[in-house]
Amino acid sequence: MRTLPRAATGTASATIALIGNPNTGKTTLFNRLTGFNQRVGNYPGVTVERTTGKLKCSPSDRPITIIDLPGTYSLSAGSADEAVVLDALSGRIRNTPTPDAICCVVDAKNLRRNLFLVTQLIELGLPVIVALNMTDLAQAAGIEIDENELAKALGVPVVPVVATRAIGVEELCKALTESTEGDTPPAPVVFPEEVNVHIDRLVTRITRSSDERSIAPPPRAIIAQALLTPGGFHEHRLLLEYGDELAVSLATSRHQLSKIGFRVAEIEADARYAWIGGALARCQTSSKLRDISLTEKADRVLTHPVSGLVILILIMGAVFQSVYAWTAPLIDIIDAAFGELGVYAAGLLPAGALQSLITDGVISGVGAVLVFLPQILVLFLFIAILEDCGYMARAAFLLDRFMRFLGLNGKSFIPLLSSFACAIPGIMAARTIENTRDRLLTVVIAPLMSCSARLPVYMLLIAIFVPNTQLLWGITNTQTIMLLCMYFVGIFTALAVAFVLKRTLLKGESQPFLMEMPTYKWPSPKTVFHRVADRGKQFCIQAGTIIFAMTIVIWALGYYPRPASIAASYEQQRTTLEAEISEGFASLAAAASSDLGILEDSLATDIETLSARFAEFNQQFTDTIEGEGFEEGSEAYVAAVSAYQQRVDELTGSSPLGEYALAHYHLSTSTSAKLNEVDRREAGDYLRQSFLGRIGHFIEPAVSPLGWDWRIGTAAIASFPAREVVIGALGTIFNLGGEQDEGSSTLRSTIVRAETPDGEPLFNLAVALSIMVFFALCCQCGATLATIKRETNTWRWPVFAFVYMTGLAYVMALVTYQVAIRVI
């Protein structure tokens, strides 16, 4: 028997590949064996790329590398993720060593189907160890497996394990370490004699022609695959290598086989399942009569065409409601904390470029984005739970018909659903789709699903501009519904794009639905925790790197140059104002003194002290209004106003100086407002003539039909590398422009105050809608484009995705704004 090219025995290291059917617990086991935390989920297609790690228990002089691979049902690759398995097996993946042994992970509940792959793997000629996983679930289902009998039948070691609870992992470790040393026993003979003759004949042929060209011939099992899977992956590969001569041999062999009554495409399955049937009769018993499992009971409701869909919608609704409602208080706290931090930092640093960089750039930029961490975490909590309990496959099942109507297939559903978390794993998950056109289609529409990075944009604007009205007896509210609508904007656009593309660029028949429905289980807290923590970490890293860098760039562009002429002209205005103020105070004191006949010295300070009390009252009054959230005109509001008025009146009447102090208070508030206004205008002037302002002026005509001013436009452009940047960019730009509150400057309060040059509020519901629609549809994510390039191997598709998405985003935002200003 021929073997795969193996690393010379006795080398200092070894590599073992984990291979098995989808969803048999390969990754869970990989994490156990290596101490990694790779992503695990209870549906087929979670792992689509290889990962390598070091076996924890491997001997120190001989480190063993473990490779985790996507799941596959057989070696006759149909989809891109399965091709990864074959490439890894034959050492065709860069930076990944060729395996010296295979650990085949087998689901003990489904031995028959799993052994199909095991028998194929054994024929490759590498040492194989069978990890009999999920023995806990098999036992619960009343399936008894005699692992010694099974090992005897297969001729390879079998180790029962429960990957989730680390049972049997030590034994497996030991078996794995030993496996790379011993000899490989012969594989069981599964094919009938007549078929073997033909396979052998081909092997001789190919070996001869390989020797002539001095290349290593493929293993016998692969040649058998090529013969028995007409039109398959291996035939294709071998034909590329060995050319027409082989094509003739293959055709002859197939013809002769069919003459003696074989149907070539059925030979392998028939032979293997016959062999497996015999082996199972010896080593597996179902001890009790099969009763209806919990999974089946749950599926009666959950996959029902009516109740299933209703529940699906309810689940989605619940997710949105929680993401919105649970996190709002947390967001307020973090928001306020960053605002305070900004004030504190401003107090610590001397005024100037450094202070501006820290407060306007870093704190308002990065802080504005980090505020949305709670939402990302809550969203991922739900995603992780849904993924690990086994519901994803059911959702795909329920929506298959709908997806097919649009020209997609149920299998596209999981990549699209993953894209709500992030488009990158979503696009990669499209590897499980066998049909190339369907896969491409899924890849180009996946970025339209509202990923978690869009959530901050929606949250920020919805919280400010959509009135919060309770709906459905308080179960939900208008803001949640608005959030849901934004998600639907993306979904509907994606579906429409799919519908069009399927009938134009990517025409063709799609594959019928075929997906295993995994057993439901309780989500594992560890899996859920890691999924949530991973995403949280990624979000913070993103904020700390790309967003940090972009906000600094934007800050620098917006801060420089700083011409002295502006400073001089505003210094002038300020001095004039200050002079006016002190004059005003002096004349007040003089008036009081002459009216009341008191000495001036103490009088001025007394008036000031009293005036400070008025300021205090006003502060208390605004605190109550804001703290309690009284609405203007409401009963409570009116009561608060009159209480305040009464305190003011009392204080005025309490002293002969009252009148003068009140006037002093009014004068000081109005002048400090004037001073602030000067500061604001100065900051605005600086920003307008900064580099950023000049760029902005240039693009303004393009964005003004969307209701945006140049500041929003530049923020949107700056967010090309990652869409969260827009939040940071807005924070920085408006802060530089002096739009922040005098106190703590949260982005929210800044946005509310932002004005156009005519003094109108810059933002309103129509502008907010247009921004949100733009961000729902645009492709502001460099990493997504890079992933599309990697997955499709050409720049054509990322360019296509970027162009069509940006175009759609612009047009839809335009329509949204123009309609909204006419309707609202």
For residue 702, give the 3-state DSSP assignment. helix
Site string for other proteins, 115-144 (x = CB under 8 A): -x------------------------x-x-
Residues between 175 and 234 with contacts to other proteins, criterion CB under 8 A: 229-232
Residue 273 touches which of other proteins, ligand GDP, Mg ion, none (CB < 5 to 8 A by kind)? other proteins
15 makes contact with Mg ion (CB under 5 A): no
DSSP class of residue 41 equals -
> Total residues at the site for other proteins (CB under 8 A)?
45
Task: Name every residue whose Cβ is closer than 8 Å to that of residue 408 and which is 6 or more positions away in sequence.
Answer: 438, 441, 442, 498, 502, 510
Binding mask 498-527 for other proteins (x = CB under 8 A): -------------xxxxxxx----------
> How would you class 401 by CB atoms within 10 Å of its CB: exposed for 0-12, middle for 13-18, buried for 19 or more?
exposed
What residues pair up with 507 in beta bridges, in sequence order? Answer: none
The runs of H, that is alpha helices, within 371-508 are 373-389, 391-398, 400-405, 410-421, 423-429, 436-445, 455-465, 478-503
Dihedral angle sign, alpha carbons of residues 663, 666, 671, 674: negative
* Binding partner at 524 among ligand GDP, Mg ion, other proteins, none, C-beta below 5 to 8 Å by kind: ligand GDP
Q: Give the Cα separation of 450 and 429 in Å (integer).
A: 17
Beta strand 51-54 pairing with 284-286: unpaired
CB of 110 to other proteins, least distance (A): 5
According to CB under 8 A, which one of 404, 613, 753, 789 is a site residue for other proteins? 404
Q: How far is the CB of 441 from other proteins (least distance, A)?
A: 17
Do 442 and 433 form a contact (C-beta atoms < 8 A)? yes
Residue 681 zone, left/alpha/beta (φ > 0; ψ -120 to 50; rest): alpha
CB of 69 to ligand GDP, least distance (A): 9
**Could you say whether residue 21 binds Mg ion (CB under 5 A)?**
no
Closest CB 513 distance from other proteins, rounded Å? 3
- Shortest approach of other proteins to residue 292 CB, angstroms? 10
What is the token pair recorded at 383? 């995603």
Q: Is beta strand 284-286 parallel, antiparallel or unpaired with respect to 143-145?
A: antiparallel
Q: Which one of residues 15, 24, 27, 442 is an interface residue with Mg ion (CB under 5 A)?
A: 27
CB of 804 to other proteins, least distance (A): 29
Rounded-to-integer distance, Cα 57 and Cα 170, Å: 8
Q: Which residue lies nearer to other proteins by CB, 117 or 772? A: 117
Give min distance, CB of 400 to ligand GDP, in A: 21
> Per rule CB under 5 A, is residue 253 in the interface with Mg ion?
no
State the DSSP H helix or E strand holding residue 477, giving kind and residue range, or none if neither: strand 476-477
User: Does 42 interact with other proteins (rule: CB under 8 A)?
Assistant: no
Does position 732 bind Mg ion by CB under 5 A? no
Per DSSP, what are the bridge partners of residue 781? Answer: 722
CB 536 within 8 A of CB 377: yes
Shortest distance, CB of residue 240 to Mg ion, whole angstroms? 30
Query: Based on CB atoms, which residue is closest to other proteins, 70 or 728?
Result: 70
Question: Closest distance between ligand GDP and the C-beta of residue 238, in Å?
Answer: 29
d(CA 258, CA 481): 62
- Give the x-and-dash track for 38-57 against Mg ion (CB under 5 A): --------xx----------
Rule CB under 8 A: choose which of 68, 335, 387, 400 binds other proteins. Answer: 400
**x-marked contacts with other proteins along 74-113 as a string, rule CB under 8 A:** x-x-x------------------------------xxxxx
**Interface with ligand GDP by CB under 6 A: which residues?**
20, 22-28, 40-42, 46-47, 71, 133-134, 136-137, 162-164, 388, 521, 524, 527
Phi, psi of 86 (to 5 degrees): -65, -40
What backbone torsions phi and psi does residue 105 show, to the nearest 5 degrees?
Answer: -90, 125
31 binds Mg ion (CB under 5 A): no
Q: Which does 132 bind (CB under 5 to 8 A by kind): ligand GDP, Mg ion, other proteins, none?
A: none
Q: How many residues does this entry show for the chain?
A: 824
Q: Are 102 and 179 in contact (CB under 8 A)?
A: no
Q: Contacting other proteins (CB under 8 A), which of 266, 600, 601, 628?
A: 266
Minimum gap (Å) between residue 49 Cβ and ligand GDP? 12
Cβ burial, residue 469 (10 Å; 0-12/13-18/19+): exposed
Binding other proteins by CB under 8 A: which of 43, 380, 397, 710? 397
Regarding 448 and contact with other proteins (CB under 8 A), the answer is no
Of the CA atoms within 13 Å of residue 196, those in its CB half-sphere come to 9
- Would you say 298 or 496 has its CB closer to other proteins? 298
For residue 798, what are the contacts with CB-CB under 8 A and spacing of at least 6?
A: 785, 786, 788, 789, 792
Contact positions vs other proteins (CB under 8 A)? 73-74, 76, 78, 109-113, 116, 141, 143, 229-232, 265-266, 268-270, 273, 277, 295-296, 299, 303-305, 393, 396-397, 400-401, 404, 409-410, 434, 511-517
Contact positions vs Mg ion (CB under 5 A)? 26-27, 46-47
